[in-house]
Structure 1
Amino acid sequence: MLRKIKQSEYLLAAFCFTLAACASQQSCKCRPSDPCCWPALNDWNQLNDTVNRHVIQTTPPGTARYPGEFHNKTACEMITSVYQSSDLIAKTSYMIDFRESTGAYALSIFTHYWQEAQFHSDFTSECCAVSTKGQNAVTISPRMQWQDMHRFADEHSSIIVGGGASTVGCIGGFLQSGGHSPLSSIYGLAMDQVLEMKVVLPSGEYITANDYQNQEIY
């Protein structure tokens, strides 16, 4: 039996077909190259408006070598001519995933023996105002673990907002994830206590980051 197809039915069928086509092309993770799920430019602009224009469009390293709006043949040839594959693994002491910590065929920076701590009774950050009041603080090296840090603070009649697991390193994932502590309900997260950091940038530059300089890193 034949019947006339209404316009609404036609649109519905076309819409369903489009969704099916998109579903067949999608991978398990949405990428900018997938127009079926990746937000359109207008969507990004609307999000940017809601956060006072703080959305930053990043360009991944080596993007000139891949198809897309940033592809550049000249830059691609330059990257290919100088590129060398050499992994860099940095670790303090203990790692959960031993496959990542072994550093096979890679340059491994092992800070296990770099264990230093210095107590300051009148610490002020670099480049701060002369009138800034000093405070108790401690400068530590990458190797320090919380069992060492709590003991060191106790020797100076102080406490520190640190981790409860004794063998976890003080610097690294603990701080980068916020740093939950048994004292957080009183003093906040461990990351809130950081006054200053000495950082090596991917460019190799060694900088100081605090409230007064390199704030985007701090």
Structure 2
Amino acid sequence: CFAIPGDEQWPSPSEWAELNKTVGGRLIAARPLAAVCHTGDPFNVYDESKCAEVKAGWDRPETHFVDPVEFNTPIFQNASCDPFTPAERVCDLGNYVSYAINLTMKTAVRDVQAGLEFARRKGVRVVVKNTGHDYLGKSTGKGALSFWTHNLRERTVIEDYKSKDYQGPAIKLGAGMLTGEAYETAREAGYRVVGGSCPTVGIAGGYAQGGGHSSLASLYGLAADNVLEWEVVTPEGEHVVATPTGRYKDLYWALSGGGGGTFGVVISMTARLHPDGIVGGASFSFTAPMDKFWDAVESFHRLGIRYIDAGNSMIYMLRMLETNTPILIAFSVTVPGKNETGVKEAMQPFLDDLKGRDIAYNFESHVSQTFLDHFARDFGPLPYGMFPVSQITGSRLLPRSAIQDTESSKAVTEALKLAVESEGFYLGCNLFNAGVVRPKNAVNPAFRESVSHCIVVGPWDFTLPRGFMLERQRRLTEVIQPALDEATRGSGTYLNEGNSEQGDWREQFYGEDVYKRLKKVKERYDPGRLFYARTAVGSE
């Protein structure tokens, strides 16, 4: 068991001060941002105007990623200190970490080593926090010492990277680099890099370490598939570079898809770059009466197989309108290397199908000169993007076999319908082909056989009683998620966007055989289980 504040073995103030001296004054005592919204002890920093600013930005990623201890998961914030509870209520750390070490490229390795030695000696839990874009509470922990990687800002383009496995352009990214920043760096050199759809996600953090789906996945695979090496400090303090064929190939394998926050502290990641060029895009939507609509959605997924096998992807939303009518909105259609004519050709089977069903649709195509331009158009405004972050989530990978089989496809569609018709939820999905490459890594095998990944999203409403939102979480866990799982037996879940309450997370997030192998890697590099994160390998 780890020590927490109040325990007899908890380090004294003088011991924390000594650690701060060792890391050059870069140890930060935790103070939640919302402390300015609460009067009295322990922080005593109430400020009405600053509180209003915190409230206004609470569901925005930029509020959380620049702070050493904040994260964006309301369930795990636990209302311990948020801006929406009464001012006279005590601001308690709750699930927040107690201290964080601010890592910089110049001193990161030795600071991590010092922090690990201290934590091991004093029995303190450690966690890793990058941006705090974290749906499962993995980047925080009560009483923990956190390694804050936000300021690991290196970005270097390597024109001629050479290894046994790859020769060509690559990019080295410090763990704190954001996805949008990585796209900008790659574009300036004439390349593109595989990353996600949220510009404020740490591309070398939990995103790539957990697999990392992408609008470019149908061409180049997942983010984890493109990693060439990981620079990491292991739980026992060893500074290593893990590659697919080197001495630490098992660590490379585990970090490439096995999840962040449990195998060590990643300092940097080196990944493949790909030649840039035009990207065809479009927006596309349709709505129809209930039965007619869901029949069209079933057909949409079946037609999507040929579409993604051609190297394309599509991010779309399924939700209910205020008129109680369902709608599909594809706000990011990605057709790499094609002009508007090519986009229309790629989308024509979808449009013809809707026309044959007498369903009206909206369709507008465009072309961007680079992938960054395409990304900014669909997911901007940069640098922060359009997505709020305070939400309840669960997810499921929709397998190709189920979509191709008529009976199974109907069951999948019924499960999607259940989610969309549940009050307070919608689906955000991504059509892509993650089986286009199959390197040796720890990515959940279900990715390789899937057609689409759908995340069940329940926006957190801080104006409602917390118990009301917890009831929605219960419905997700006990009704919606089981229905999706049952309709897609043998598939799995993207571990970065799963349901934190899922009981069989080892099988669903990782795959049973992969998890067994990951446990062995965990036992080799972290025999003392110093790193612990919810649903991470070794946390059962």
What TM-score results when the alignment is normalised by the length of structure 1?
0.54
How far is 1:148 from its partner? 0.5
Residue of structure 1 equivalent to 2:145: 107
Residue of structure 2 equivalent to 1:25: none
How far is 1:118 from its partner? 0.5
Q: 1:90 to 1:192 in 2, by over 3 A?
A: same
Q: 1:174 to 1:97 in 2, by over 3 A?
A: closer
Q: State the AA in 2 paired with 1:150.
A: Y
How far is 1:97 from its partner? 5.7
- Residue number among 131, 136, 156 corresponding to 2:169 in the alignment: 136
* Secondary structure, counterpart of 2:128 in structure 1: strand
Q: Give the alignment of 1:110-121 within 5 angstroms.
A: 110-121=148-159
How far is 1:98 from its partner? 9.6
How far is 1:96 from its partner? 3.2
* Secondary structure, counterpart of 1:165 in structure 2: coil
Residue of structure 1 equivalent to 2:127: 89
Counterpart CA distance in 2 for 1:103 and 1:134 is: 41
Instruction: Tell which deviates more after alignment, 84-93 or 152-161.
Output: 84-93
Residue of structure 1 equivalent to 2:190: 157
- Residue number among 224, 239, 251 corresponding to 1:217 in the alignment: 251
How far is 1:93 from its partner? 2.2
- Residue number among 192, 196, 203 corresponding to 2:225 in the alignment: 192
* Secondary structure, counterpart of 2:156 in structure 1: strand
RMSD: 2.5
Counterpart CA distance in 1 for 2:171 and 2:236 is: 28
How far is 1:212 from its partner? 2.7
Q: 1:205 to 1:140 in 2, by over 3 A?
A: same
- Residue number among 139, 151, 170 corresponding to 2:203 in the alignment: 170
How far is 1:105 from its partner? 3.6
Higher relative contact order structure (alpha carbons within 8 Å, sequence separation ≥ 6): 2
- Residue number among 187, 193, 203 corresponding to 2:236 in the alignment: 203
Counterpart CA distance in 2 for 1:96 and 1:133 is: 32
Counterpart CA distance in 2 for 1:169 and 1:101 is: 12
Judge conservation of contact 2:130–2:139 (CA < 8 Å) in 1.
Answer: no
How far is 1:84 from its partner? 3.7
How far is 1:102 from its partner? 5.5
* Secondary structure, counterpart of 1:154 in structure 2: helix
- Report Cα offsets for 1:26-55 as digits up to 9, x if no partner: xxxxxxxxxxxxxxxxxxxxxxxxxxxxxx
How far is 1:157 from its partner? 0.7
Residue of structure 2 equivalent to 1:147: 180
* Secondary structure, counterpart of 1:180 in structure 2: coil
How far is 1:136 from its partner? 0.2
Q: State the AA in 2 paired with 1:194.
A: V
Judge conservation of contact 2:127–2:147 (CA < 8 Å) in 1.
Answer: yes
Higher helix share: 2
Q: 1:97 to 1:84 in 2, by over 3 A?
A: farther
Moved over 4 A (4+): 97-104
* Structure number with bigger Rg: 1
How far is 1:99 from its partner? 6.6
How far is 1:186 from its partner? 1.2
Q: 1:189 to 1:97 in 2, by over 3 A?
A: closer
Counterpart CA distance in 1 for 2:201 and 2:211 is: 14
Q: 1:157 to 1:208 in 2, by over 3 A?
A: same
* Secondary structure, counterpart of 1:138 in structure 2: strand
* Secondary structure, counterpart of 1:161 in structure 2: coil
Counterpart CA distance in 2 for 1:90 and 1:167 is: 17
Counterpart CA distance in 2 for 1:113 and 1:203 is: 23
Seq. identity, %: 35
Higher strand share: 2
What TM-score results when the alignment is normalised by the length of structure 2?
0.23
Judge conservation of contact 1:123–1:137 (CA < 8 Å) in 2.
Answer: yes
Q: 1:202 to 1:158 in 2, by over 3 A?
A: same
- Report Cα offsets for 1:194-215 as digits up to 9, x if no partner: 1111122111111111133121
Residue of structure 2 equivalent to 1:33: none
Counterpart CA distance in 1 for 2:210 and 2:140 is: 23
Counterpart CA distance in 2 for 1:204 and 1:186 is: 37
Structure 1 gaps, min length 5: 1-81
How far is 1:216 from its partner? 1.0
How far is 1:88 from its partner? 1.2
